A and B are shown apart, each in its own frame.
Chain A
Amino acid sequence: MILVPVEVAWLCFLFPFAGALLSPVLARIHPRLRDYGALFFSFLGALCSVMFIPYLFHLDNLPLESAFVWLTVPIELNVGVLVDPLSIVMANVVAVISFVIMIYSLGYMKGDPCLTRWWMWMNLFIGSMLLLVLSNNLLFLFVGWKMVGLCSWGLIGFYYKDERKYWIGGPPPTKYTVPSHCGLKAMVVTSMGDVLMLGGILIMYSYAGTLNILELYETSSVWLPEMAKSSGLILLMIVMLLLGPIGKSAQFPLHEWLPEAMAGPGPVSALIHAATMVKSGVYMVARLLPIFFYGYWVSGCGEAIYFFIIVAWVGVITAFVAATQGMTALELKKALAFSTVSQIGYMFLALGVAGLTISSLEGGYTSGIYHLFNHALFKACLFLCAGSVIHTAHSIYMNDMGSIKKFMPFTWIFMLIAALSLMGVPPFPGFWSKDAILASTLATHYFLLFSLALITVVITAFYTTRFFGMTFHGRASENIEKLKQKGAHLGEVHITMVVACGALAVIIVICGLIGLPLEHFLGHAFEHTMEYLHLPIVHAEHATPLWVVPLMSVVSVVIGFVPAYLLYFSGKLDPKSIVENSSLLKMLHKFFWNRWYIDSFYFMFFVGGMTKLYTAAPKFEDILDKVFHQMIPSIPKRLSDLVKYLRTETGVLGFNLLYILIFYIFVLLLILWVVW
């Protein structure tokens, strides 16, 4: 098999960047040329990424680098691409799904007056995301990181005029939020994590003396023990490094921006806030993981274990908290957003447990990345289908839908496939990766982590059944009836949208059918990387029979599915009256609906606190202003008045002579001071 030269990896992100730059030029020639041109450049990016898949069958050739000298002074930095199993998997997830979503956009965004801006942002995002995952050094990884954040801001607030139809939130008394506000919120929250992550990278650099990823791995046996001599420094670095991924991947406690990010157009939610950008935090954790694994298990740096403890706990808490919020969400996309946050929590959990015991590395690492891969597929499909449904129902709320199955049979089947995968129903891909995560967690004997993860499986099954049932089954809502009466088009949407959803559904089914071999294939590839990095690979000995975890997983799904089915599919039970009749359920519902009051607390503490601070600043400024522009300038006048007073009131010659004497003494002292 012919393997492409590593330099082709540059083209993966250069093509989309070129597409972004050329969009305004092509728009001047013909709008259609602009649209297909944008699509073509993203296709080229995807093609280049796919060309690296054969390397996964020839692992001995990896890792590969191609770089050029970017800076020599004051910091030496060779900038380039790193091709290894992780970057190949990530690049393909990003590039291929991006291309499918670009096809979907052709239909979804048809007729929008700002299409040039749309294609520019989309291709800029794809290029930046590919730069992030392919960069051979942490600085350019960070460049891609910041640029995807910028694109996220631009695309969440794409409908910058904040017209009423693009508001999210509500219905009253819950407040509505406008797209431009949502974009700003995402930008500010993630940026706070980003800048601290940069600080963490710089602390690392101050000891390692390099930003090259492979060099960081190779030299970690030297610089990490050196760093360990300063107590608390490794822990500080870990916390700062992790704040970036926690913010970007919307993990607790920086998870509150993602639900509002749903103000963006459907394809944006699918691409950026489900399939790709929000996974960059998981990617970053996976990139840093070998350094701390080696540091703790080989070099004996005790503080390095905090990396895994923090990641695992953040992951499992997020998975649980977000899943509970997903149970009460009324907006379809918001329910999916909570689900995304929750599922990324699973990925964090997997990567966290990878370092909790020496034998969990391969299992945790593989299951985390495998779940990332699967989740990208089924969540992109779910969001694209949700976009189609919202397009048809003319509403973002699930209680404005219902019984849509008969109007949109293709979308129904595609979304069903993706939903089953999200729930973890065998043999869909989500089942395999979630099962692997649960197995890895159980193998570490951290039973609290495992229990929370298993409870989350129940909740996942519940909310998935709920949103699917509310959307496609049950009774048709008043809104749908009204649309029918008006003679609105209730049916499948644009052909490109159906094709894109279908393509993803087919890939999901195929990946599910080859789920176990695929997991082993990825595991083998990652094991090769670990061997290359001299990480100790100890295969876990399962304390329980192999069938226990899958069985527990399936039972959990059933436990979550049955009540949701009765409530939202069959219509035999009325969820509203059940909640109304139970004070406990009512309280829980309110608690989850208000997102555990975390968002309100943040708003009160951070936004309110900052507002108090910045409103106090001008008051303080006024005081300074008075001191410098009124009090100090008045000193000469006051002195002059004093002298005038003394002279005019006395008029005695002796006083005048005294002044002259004082002046001479002053001059004399000045001369003496200068001379000495």
Chain B
Amino acid sequence: MIPYILLQIVLMPAVAALIIISTRYITGRKAGFIAGGTLIYTTALLLIAANRIYHGEIISEEYPVAQMLNFNLFADGLSIAIAVIMNLCCVVLAFYSIHYVDHRIEVIYGDVDERTWRMYYTRFFFLFPFFATGFMGIAFSTNLLAMYFFMELLTIIPLYFIMAQFGYSDFIERYKVALMCLFWGVAGATVFLLGMLLAYTHTGSFEIVSLSALSGDPVVTWVILLMLIGLFSKLAIFPLHVWMPWVHAEHPTCIAGLLAVYANIAVYVMVRVLILPLYDDFKVFSIPIMVLALITMVYGSLLAMAQNDVKRFAACSTISQISYSVIGVAALTVWSIEGGLFFFLCHIMGKAMLFSTAGMLVYMTGVRDIRKMGGLAAKMPITAVLWTMGAMSLSGLPPFSTFAAEWIMFTGIFMYGTHGPSIVLVIAILAITAVGLTIAYTFWSIKRIFFGPMSPELANNDKIRDPPVLMWLPILILGTISIIIGLYPKFILDLFHLVLGGI
């Protein structure tokens, strides 16, 4: 039995971050491996915990702080499955970042001396592990204040500082967009906090389980509404999506995949905080949320089609894709909720692949404009394969796990549609048609970037080739894991069902 397993999972990345910053001039280039190694360790702990939970155990650890605040950690089938995949994305992107950050420092800060270089390099890997701490904290928190704390931690430490210091564009633009991201994050969390406080005035507790006491109370509608607005701004649901293209465009691509996790994790919060304790009260929001999600799916796809910037393209795709999990969760059937959450996990894997590959393209060609690309498959075959894998994953093509997720999710939505109001059936048909739009824009992007003749500039550039193995191998491994989960989704779905089966 491993002691404090959940605490270790949450805190170890932060500890690694502190070690990296305190030994920054000694560790230097090893910082990436320290961060990656620590995350591998926590992934191993997560798998051990997942195995225990799969066999019927529930892991709970108590860490009280004050009367109404505690950092108690709780892992059940739902949280552990989410945590494993999120952590896995962190591991992959940590290793991907090892080369990538080197490149960003060179682009932003130029040819600096070794000491300055080490300072910048280790600064990135000091900030990076806080992603894992934030994600794990949200997944395992039992207390709303603790969950809020971890949401804000993510917004402020890794997101703001990494984007501000390692993002794209010039200094002013970078900080401006980082500030924009911060404001949106804080604004969303504040509205969520208002909902929490309103709930507290009626329950006298910040514990998530105590929210069920609100069921049937007229105030519950306002609590759900406030929390939903807060979560929608994180989920980039239309019209609260306007921050996403900016932020994704200026982010260093090595963490852009984690930004998708940051946004999409709100779906988990929605299920954990609103649907599980307040299922009956949530029903009134079901159809309006589905309509909003449908609009976002289509609108995000159209925006993606219109993009010429390879990074903005992926950002708009994220807007569209997150709504898939939202529409699934909002349909409130056991199939659609499990499918929606499963889709969240598959999407973050697919998006990490696509964004990271976009990063490879920018890294090797120095070009972001898709119109200036074309024919790159000849010089970058591995990158082309990875982008295609990402496109397939987002399009829900087998054998990627997204296919299984979409199938289960849409089963639930159609089940609701055929046995419920007719409008839901219309929404279901339109939503499944929107999958066709995803296929259109992702495969079109393959054609535009990798097929056709190459421009003379790219053709004459001998430096264009596939990136170093340490960049593409982690992404290939992530793609392979997505395929394995697609071929055998039983493990994750069984874990989900332990918690959600009762719905």
Determine whether the beta carbon of A230 is less than 8 Å from that of B443: no
Q: How far is the CA of A304 from the CA of B428 in the complex (A)?
A: 22
Contact with B along A57-84 (1 / 0, CB 8 A): 0000000000000111111000000000
Determine whether the beta carbon of A162 is less than 8 Å from that of B306: no
B258 interface residue per 8 A CB criterion: no
Q: Chain B residues with Cβ under 8 A from A183's Cβ?
A: 447
Out of A146, A178, A629, which one reaches B242, CB within 8 Å?
Answer: A629
Q: Chain B residues with Cβ under 8 A from A621's Cβ?
A: 242, 245, 303
Stretch among B99-107, B167-175, B429-437 lining the A interface: B429-437
B497 interface residue per 8 A CB criterion: yes
Determine whether the beta carbon of B306 is less than 8 Å from that of A75: no
Interface of B is mostly: helix
Determine whether the beta carbon of B450 is less than 8 Å from that of A147: no
Determine whether the beta carbon of B436 is less than 8 Å from that of A192: yes
Determine whether the beta carbon of A202 is less than 8 Å from that of B411: yes
Near A by CB (< 8 A), chain B positions 368-413 give 375, 377-378, 392, 395, 397-399, 403, 407-408, 410-412
Determine whether the beta carbon of A160 is less than 8 Å from that of B436: no
Out of A157, A233, A613, which one reaches B418, CB within 8 Å?
Answer: A233
Out of A75, A143, A233, A614, which one reaches B335, CB within 8 Å?
Answer: A75
Q: How far is the CA of A205 from the CA of B433 in the complex (A)?
A: 18
Determine whether the beta carbon of A203 is less than 8 Å from that of B414: yes
Out of B414, B443, B490, which one reaches A199, CB within 8 Å?
Answer: B414
B440 interface residue per 8 A CB criterion: yes
Determine whether the beta carbon of A160 is less than 8 Å from that of B377: yes
Determine whether the beta carbon of A178 is less than 8 Å from that of B452: yes
Among A143, A230, A613, A617, the most chain B Cβ lie within 10 Å of the Cβ of A617
Determine whether the beta carbon of B451 is less than 8 Å from that of A162: yes
Given contacts A207-B418, A614-B306, A617-B302, contact A624 B408 (CB under 8 A): no
Q: How far is the CA of A187 from the CA of B388 in the complex (A)?
A: 13
Q: Chain A residues with Cβ under 8 A from B415's Cβ?
A: 202, 205-206
Chain A residue, CB-CB nearest to B451:
A180
A476 interface residue per 8 A CB criterion: no
Chain B residue, CB-CB nearest to A197:
B432
Q: How far is the CA of A70 from the CA of B488 in the complex (A)?
A: 7
Contact with A along B438-458 (1 / 0, CB 8 A): 011001100100111100000
Q: How far is the CA of A452 from the CA of B489 in the complex (A)?
A: 49
A150 interface residue per 8 A CB criterion: yes
Q: Chain B residues with Cβ under 8 A from A157's Cβ?
A: 447, 451
Out of B335, B403, B440, which one reaches A146, CB within 8 Å?
Answer: B403
Determine whether the beta carbon of A188 is less than 8 Å from that of B436: yes
Given contacts A187-B439, A191-B436, A617-B303, contact A202 B403 (CB under 8 A): no
Chain B residue, CB-CB nearest to A159:
B451
A96 interface residue per 8 A CB criterion: no
B494 interface residue per 8 A CB criterion: yes
Determine whether the beta carbon of B490 is less than 8 Å from that of A70: yes
Contact with A along B337-356 (1 / 0, CB 8 A): 01100000000000000000
Among A143, A187, A195, A203, the most chain B Cβ lie within 10 Å of the Cβ of A195
A648 interface residue per 8 A CB criterion: no
Determine whether the beta carbon of A161 is less than 8 Å from that of B375: yes
Interface of A is mostly: helix
Out of B395, B399, B419, B432, which one reaches A206, CB within 8 Å?
Answer: B419
Q: Chain B residues with Cβ under 8 A from A614's Cβ?
A: 302-303, 305-306
Determine whether the beta carbon of B501 is less than 8 Å from that of A161: no
Determine whether the beta carbon of B432 is less than 8 Å from that of A674: no
Q: How far is the CA of A373 from the CA of B399 in the complex (A)?
A: 29
Chain B residue, CB-CB nearest to A181:
B447
Determine whether the beta carbon of B378 is less than 8 Å from that of A188: no
B493 interface residue per 8 A CB criterion: yes
A583 interface residue per 8 A CB criterion: no
Q: Chain A residues with Cβ under 8 A from B291's Cβ?
A: none
Q: Chain B residues with Cβ under 8 A from A191's Cβ?
A: 395, 435-436, 439-440
Given contacts A162-B453, A614-B306, contact A74 B338 (CB under 8 A): yes
Q: Chain A residues with Cβ under 8 A from B490's Cβ?
A: 70-72
Out of B302, B444, B451, which one reaches A161, CB within 8 Å?
Answer: B451
Given contacts A180-B451, A625-B242, contact A150 B303 (CB under 8 A): no
Chain B residue, CB-CB nearest to A69:
B490
Determine whether the beta carbon of B443 is less than 8 Å from that of A153: yes
Contact with B along A195-214 (1 / 0, CB 8 A): 11011001101110000000
Contact with B along A87-110 (1 / 0, CB 8 A): 000000000000000000000000
Determine whether the beta carbon of B433 is less than 8 Å from that of A74: no
Q: Chain A residues with Cβ under 8 A from B435's Cβ?
A: 191, 195
Chain B residue, CB-CB nearest to A70:
B490
Q: How far is the CA of A614 from the CA of B445 in the complex (A)?
A: 14
Chain A residue, CB-CB nearest to B434:
A195
A582 interface residue per 8 A CB criterion: no
B299 interface residue per 8 A CB criterion: yes
Q: How far is the CA of A188 from the CA of B403 in the complex (A)?
A: 17
Q: How far is the CA of A191 from the CA of B411 in the complex (A)?
A: 18
Smallest distance from the beta carbon of B381 to chain A beta carbons, Å? 9
Q: Chain B residues with Cβ under 8 A from A74's Cβ?
A: 334-335, 338-339, 408, 412, 493, 497, 500-501
Q: Chain A residues with Cβ under 8 A from B305's Cβ?
A: 610, 614, 617
Smallest distance from the beta carbon of A129 to chain B beta carbons, Å? 14
A455 interface residue per 8 A CB criterion: no
Q: How far is the CA of A610 from the CA of B414 in the complex (A)?
A: 26
Among A72, A202, A205, the most chain B Cβ lie within 10 Å of the Cβ of A202
Chain B residue, CB-CB nearest to A179:
B451
Contact with A along B203-240 (1 / 0, CB 8 A): 00000000000000000000000000000000000010
Q: How far is the CA of A621 from the CA of B411 in the complex (A)?
A: 32
Near A by CB (< 8 A), chain B positions 265-312 give 299, 302-303, 305-306
Determine whether the beta carbon of B410 is less than 8 Å from that of A198: yes
Near A by CB (< 8 A), chain B positions 306-328 give 306
Q: Chain A residues with Cβ under 8 A from B429's Cβ?
A: 196, 199, 240
Q: Chain B residues with Cβ under 8 A from A199's Cβ?
A: 410, 414, 428-429, 432-433
Given contacts A187-B443, A610-B305, contact A206 B433 (CB under 8 A): no
A47 interface residue per 8 A CB criterion: no
Among B180, B433, B451, the most chain A Cβ lie within 10 Å of the Cβ of B451
Q: How far is the CA of A233 from the CA of B375 in the complex (A)?
A: 47
Given contacts A161-B451, A206-B418, contact A72 B443 (CB under 8 A): no
Contact with B along A642-669 (1 / 0, CB 8 A): 0000000000000000000000000000
Given contacts A192-B433, A674-B201, contact A205 B411 (CB under 8 A): yes
Determine whether the beta carbon of A195 is less than 8 Å from that of B418: no
Determine whether the beta carbon of B436 is less than 8 Å from that of A143: no
Given contacts A180-B447, A233-B418, A617-B306, contact A196 B432 (CB under 8 A): yes
Determine whether the beta carbon of B378 is less than 8 Å from that of A161: yes
Determine whether the beta carbon of B408 is less than 8 Å from that of A196: no
A288 interface residue per 8 A CB criterion: no
Q: Chain B residues with Cβ under 8 A from A73's Cβ?
A: 493-494, 497, 501
Smallest distance from the beta carbon of A216 to chain B beta carbons, Å? 15
Chain B residue, CB-CB nearest to A613:
B302
A615 interface residue per 8 A CB criterion: yes
Residues of B within 8 A of A (CB): 180, 201, 239, 242-243, 245, 299, 302-303, 305-306, 334-335, 338-339, 375, 377-378, 392, 395, 397-399, 403, 407-408, 410-412, 414-415, 417-419, 428-429, 432-433, 435-436, 439-440, 443-444, 447, 450-453, 489-490, 493-494, 497, 500-501
Q: Which 7 A-B pairs have the closest CB atoms?
A: A180-B451, A614-B305, A202-B414, A73-B497, A617-B302, A206-B418, A160-B451
29 contacts between A and B (CB under 8 A): A71-B489, A72-B490, A73-B494, A74-B497, A74-B501, A75-B411, A150-B392, A153-B443, A160-B451, A161-B378, A161-B453, A162-B452, A180-B452, A184-B447, A188-B436, A191-B439, A198-B432, A199-B429, A202-B411, A202-B414, A203-B414, A203-B418, A205-B414, A205-B415, A613-B302, A614-B303, A617-B299, A618-B306, A628-B243
Known contacts A75-B411, A161-B375, then 7 further A-B pairs from the complex at CB < 8 Å, ordered by chain A residue:
A150-B392, A184-B444, A187-B443, A195-B439, A199-B432, A203-B418, A618-B303
